[in-house]
Amino acid sequence: MKFTEFGLSAGLLRAVGEQGYDTPTPVQREAIPYVLAGRDLEALAQTGTGKTAAFVLPILHRLTHDANNSPLSRATQNTPRALVLVPTRELAAQVLESVRTYGAHVSIRSLAVFGGVGINPQIQTLRRGIDVLVATPGRLLDHLGQRTVDLSKIQTLVLDEADRMFDMGFIRDIRKIVERCPKQRQTLLFSATFAPEVRELAHSVLRNPALVEVARRGTPAELVTQSVIRVDQSMKRDLLLHLFASHGWHQTLIFMRTKHGADAMAKKLEQAGVRCAALHGNKTQGARTKALADFKSGKLAALVATDIAARGIDIDSLPRVINFEMPNVPEDYVHRIGRTGRAGVEGEAISLVSSEERIQLRDIERLIKREFEKLTVPGFEPQHHDSVPRAAPHPSKAAAPKSGQRNSAGRSSGAGARSGGPREGSRDGSRGGPRSATAPKAGGPHHTGQRHR
Ligand code: AMP
User: For the segment 47-79, what is each residue's pLDDT rounded down to a tens digit?
Assistant: 667 899 999 999 999 999 865 565 545 556 789
Does 24 contact ligand 1 (Cβ within 6 A)?
yes
Q: Are residues 247 and 111 in the same domain?
A: no
Does 46 contact ligand 1 (Cβ within 6 A)?
no
What CATH number is attached to the domain comprising 170?
A: 3.40.50.300
pLDDT in tens, 382-401: 986 554 444 433 333 333 33
Mutate to test the pocket of ligand 1, among 6, 19, 91, 217 (most ligand atoms within 8 A of CB): 19
pLDDT at 409 > cutoff 70: no
Mutate to test the pocket of ligand 1, among 21, 47, 134 (most ligand atoms within 8 A of CB): 21
Give pLDDT, residue 405.
33
Q: Are residues 206 and 232 in the same domain?
A: no
**How far does the centroid of ligand 1 lie from the alpha carbon of residue 19, in Å?**
9
Q: Are residues 200 and 326 in the same domain?
A: no
Q: Are residues 164 and 237 in the same domain?
A: no
Q: Are residues 149 and 103 in the same domain?
A: yes
pLDDT at 302 > cutoff 50: yes
Does 47 contact ligand 1 (Cβ within 6 A)?
yes
Note whether 313 and 288 are within 8 A (CB): no
Domains contained in the chain, number: 2
Q: For residue 390, what are the domain limits?
A: 224-251+315-397
Q: Are residues 346 and 207 in the same domain?
A: no
Over pLDDT 90: what percentage of the chain? 49
Q: Are residues 381 and 242 in the same domain?
A: yes
Pick the residue whose CA is nearest to atom 12 on ligand 1: 50
**How far does the centroid of ligand 1 lie from the alpha carbon of residue 54, in Å?**
9
Give pLDDT, residue 178.
97
Give pLDDT, residue 56.
98
DSSP H or E segment with residue 140: helix 137-145
pLDDT in tens, 107-133: 999 999 999 889 999 999 999 999 999
Q: What is the CA radius of gyration of the chain?
A: 26
282 belongs to a structural domain: no
Q: Are residues 189 and 335 in the same domain?
A: no
Q: Is 182 exposed, middle or buried (0-12, 13-18, 19+ CB in 10 A)?
A: exposed
Which residues are within 8 A (CB) of 132 and not within 5 positions of it... i.e. 6 or more apart? 59, 60, 63, 80, 81, 82, 83, 84, 99, 103, 108, 109, 110, 111
Q: Are residues 228 and 372 in the same domain?
A: yes
Q: Are residues 236 and 160 in the same domain?
A: no
**How far does the centroid of ligand 1 lie from the alpha carbon of residue 188, in Å?**
18
404 belongs to a structural domain: no
Give pLDDT, residue 174.
96
Ligand 1 atom index nearest CA of 52: 3
Its pTM stands at 0.55
**How far does the centroid of ligand 1 lie from the alpha carbon of residue 360, in Å?**
33
197 belongs to a structural domain: yes
pLDDT at 180 > cutoff 90: yes
Domain-ending residue, one of 193, 213, 233: 213
- Return mean pLDDT, the chain: 79
pLDDT at 9 > cutoff 50: yes
pLDDT at 161 > cutoff 60: yes
87 belongs to a structural domain: yes
Give pLDDT, residue 204.
92
Q: Are residues 68 and 133 in the same domain?
A: yes
Q: Are residues 189 and 162 in the same domain?
A: yes
Higher-confidence residue of 94 and 140: namely 140
Does 26 contact ligand 1 (Cβ within 6 A)?
no
User: In a 3-state reduction of DSSP, which class is residue 352?
Assistant: strand
Measured between alpha carbons, how far is 234 from 237 in angstroms, rounded to an integer? Answer: 7
